[in-house]
Every structure is written in C-alpha cells, then in structure tokens.
C-alpha cells in the first residue's frame, strides 16, 4: 500500500495541532518545572504499585540510561523511593514518597482540568465525535491491531463500536484472536489459573478451587444476553481468558483475567478488558466491578488504564498468604 505525501502531511499537521493544544511544546509540562516525560513517569509510578524501572523503560519505550538518570534526579529531590521486592530481592519496586505525591497530585488535577476545559468547549455531538475518533486512532495504531481493531478481535469490535468501517487494507496475520467459550475451555481456565498463580505467586490449591467454583457457576447459570466468557487464542493455542457475569440488574463483575506469560506484551490483556467493558455497555449495565489483590501489579495496571477506580481494600488470609484484597469499579 502506497502512503502519499499528502497523507503524511495530514498526520504531521494533526500531531502539531494536538501537541500545541495539550502543552507538550512548553518548557515545563502543565506549567510545572517537569518535562512531559518526567510527568508521565510520575504518573506510572503513582498508579502502579510495585512497578520496576525495567518495566517502565519497556512500556514507555524509554532508553534505560536516560530513565535511570531521570529516576536518580527524582531521588535527589526526595520524590522517589525504592524497595526490594519481597519475592525477588534483585528487583527494586518504585514508589513516590509523600513529597513526590504532593508534587504529582496538582499535576494530575491540572491535567484533568485541561482535558475537561478542552471538551467543555464542544457541544455534545462534537464531543462524542472527538472521543470516538480518538478511540479509532488508539485502536487502529495499537501494536496488537496490525492495521485494524477487527483484525485482532473478529466478531468483537464492530463498526458500531469504533465508527465507520476502516478502509480495507492488506495487513499481516493478527497476533491473536478473541472468541467466546466452547467445550473444554473451563477445564483449561481452572488448570492454568491454578498452575500460573502457584508458579508466580506461590498460591495454593485453594485458589484453583475458587476458580473451579466460579467457572462451574458460570456454566450452570449462564445468561448469554448479559454474561460472557472470552478466550484469547494465538496460533491455535489458548493464551488468555476473561469473564463478565451479572452481580445484579445494573452491575456486572469482571472475573478470571489471565494471559499466558509468553504472550504478555502483545496487548491481549488490554483487549480482553476492553471487550468486557464494551459488552457490559451493550448489555445495559451501569457499572462493572472486580475483585483483585494488591500484589497483582500487571492486572491492576490494566484496570487503571481502562478507567477502573479502586474503591476498597481489605487485608485477608487466602491461598496460603496474607494478602490485601481490592475492589475496583467502572461506571459505564
């Protein structure tokens, strides 16, 4: 497919206009002494408990030497602290200090106010159009999309979800697909949850038993109009799962998110969560809630990125460990 000079110019013009509107070109982002990159790193640390420098470098596509110097600058200013991981002393978890949190909080509020002001200038129809266009761009350019959201998730993301159909294009084979459950999937979900959570967190068979109860109840009580399971596949192999089930007439529960370790980083978890949210809206729910654990940093990052907010936390003893349970919810 030939990309014309006119198409390139249009993309560059959009980039120039949008970066000007959100203040990326100013000396300090959000009228602060910090650059856009520094504010973004603060955001990730503030919203991801237990994140490491390596994870930040990979996910933000930052040079590790540059990130190391940036983090050292935060430490000199007493904004950042490090702590050895209880599971692996070689891994250093990052967190904002109380001083760092005081610096970051007004930046977060200023960023939210900036976006609110931009959207408030639009009438409802144009506001929806802008947000839908952003959704199309984000979905189409996601690493997992390979050109089109529907190429990744056939029968999952339709034109009604992302606007007018994208032009046909010759694209590479998608890295994964999503489908609804079929015979044999529940056994796999139980087995892989039991094995992976034991390997990665040391949880005992109590967790596997809980997953077995959840999947059995799902099959026995399934309401297809309001409940669903999705299985992610790659090269004909199951590599992920997620469930959306009814809590009551207005609230759905997201359950049993799992992504195989060798396929993490392909956008599978993000796609599974997005599909749950999309289906929840179409099914008429007003909110989605979920129950997770404080130490599941990768899953918590996905929930935060999808717009979920933590509303409760409670220490408990389960699966052979002292854990901190968290409840998150998303208004649809």
Same domain, 201 and 117: no
255 backbone dihedrals φ, ψ, rounded to 5°: -140, 155
Query: Is residue 134 situated within a structural domain?
Result: no
Last residue of a domain, one of 77, 99, 121: 121
Query: Is residue 17 situated within a structural domain?
Result: yes
Query: Is residue 151 situated within a structural domain?
Result: no
How far is 117 from 326, CA to CA, in rounded Å? 32
Q: How far is CA 140 from CA 61, 282, 300, in A?
A: 19, 21, 24
Query: Is residue 70 situated within a structural domain?
Result: yes
Domain that holds residue 37: 5-121
Same domain, 106 and 188: no
Query: Is residue 231 situated within a structural domain?
Result: yes
What pLDDT score was predicted for residue 164?
34
Same domain, 209 and 318: yes
CATH number at residue 35: 1.10.10.10
Query: Is residue 91 situated within a structural domain?
Result: yes
The overall pTM is greater than 0.85: no
Query: Is residue 202 situated within a structural domain?
Result: yes
Same domain, 98 and 25: yes
Last residue of a domain, one of 57, 87, 121: 121
**CA 232 to mean position of chain CA atoms:** 16
Same domain, 88 and 208: no
Same domain, 14 and 103: yes
Same domain, 12 and 91: yes
Say which DSSP state 3 is in. P
CATH number at residue 201: 3.40.630.30
Buried b (16+ CB within 10 A) or exposed e, 25-52: eeeebbebebebebbebbebbbebbbbb
Same domain, 182 and 325: yes
- Kindly write down the DSSP assignment for every residue of 9-37, as one continuous string: HHHHHHHHHHHHHTTTTSSSGGGSSS-HH
Last residue of a domain, one of 103, 121, 139: 121
Who's near 173: CB < 8 A, 6+ residues apart? Answer: 146
Same domain, 182 and 279: yes
Query: Is residue 131 situated within a structural domain?
Result: no
How far is 225 from 237, CA to CA, in rounded Å? 27
**pLDDT tens track, the chain, 332 positions:** 577 777 777 777 777 777 666 665 554 556 678 888 888 899 889 887 778 898 888 888 888 888 999 999 999 999 999 988 776 667 788 999 999 999 988 888 888 888 888 888 888 888 888 887 877 776 666 654 433 333 333 333 332 233 333 333 333 345 789 999 999 999 999 999 999 999 999 999 999 999 999 999 999 999 999 999 999 999 889 999 999 999 999 999 999 999 998 888 888 999 999 999 999 999 999 999 999 999 998 899 999 999 999 999 999 999 999 999 999 999 99
Same domain, 202 and 55: no
Q: What is the number of domains present in the chain? A: 2
How far is 243 from 65, CA to CA, in rounded Å? 40
């Amino acid at each position: 497919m030939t990309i014309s000079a006119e198409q390139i110019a249009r993309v560059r013009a959009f980039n120039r206009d949008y970066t000007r509107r959100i203040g990326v070109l100013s000396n300090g982002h959000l009228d602060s002494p910090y650059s856009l990159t520094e504010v973004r790193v603060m955001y990730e640390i503030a919203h991801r408990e237990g994140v490491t420098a390596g994870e930040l470098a990979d996910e933000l596509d930052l040079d590790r030497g540059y990130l190391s110097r940036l983090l050292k600058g935060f430490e000199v200013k007493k904004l950042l602290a490090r702590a050895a991981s209880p599971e692996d002393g070689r891994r250093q978890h990052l967190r904002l200090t109380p001083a760092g949190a005081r610096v970051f909080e007004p930046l977060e509020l200023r960023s939210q106010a900036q976006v609110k002001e931009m959207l408030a200038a639009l009438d409802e129809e144009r506001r929806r159009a802008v947000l839908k266009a952003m959704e199309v761009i984000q979905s189409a350019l996601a690493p997992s999309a390979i050109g089109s959201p529907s190429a990744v998730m056939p029968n999952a993301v339709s034109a009604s979800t992302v606007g007018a159909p994208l032009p046909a294009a010759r694209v590479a084979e998608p890295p994964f697909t999503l489908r609804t459950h079929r015979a044999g999937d529940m056994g796999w979900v139980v087995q892989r949850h039991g094995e992976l959570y034991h390997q990665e967190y040391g949880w005992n068979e109590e967790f596997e038993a809980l997953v077995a109860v959840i999947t059995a109840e799902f099959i026995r009580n399934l309401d297809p109009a309001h409940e669903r399971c999705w299985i992610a596949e790659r090269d004909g192999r199951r590599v992920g799962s997620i469930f959306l089930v009814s809590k009551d007439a207005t609230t759905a529960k997201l359950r049993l998110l799992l992504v195989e370790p060798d396929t993490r980083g392909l956008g599978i978890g993000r796609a599974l969560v997005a599909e749950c949210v999309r289906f929840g809206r179409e099914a008429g729910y007003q909110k989605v809630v979920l129950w997770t654990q404080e130490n599941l940093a990768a899953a918590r990052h996905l929930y935060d990125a999808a717009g979920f907010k933590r509303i409760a936390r409670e220490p408990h003893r389960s699966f052979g460990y002292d854990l901190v349970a968290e409840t998150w919810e998303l208004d649809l």
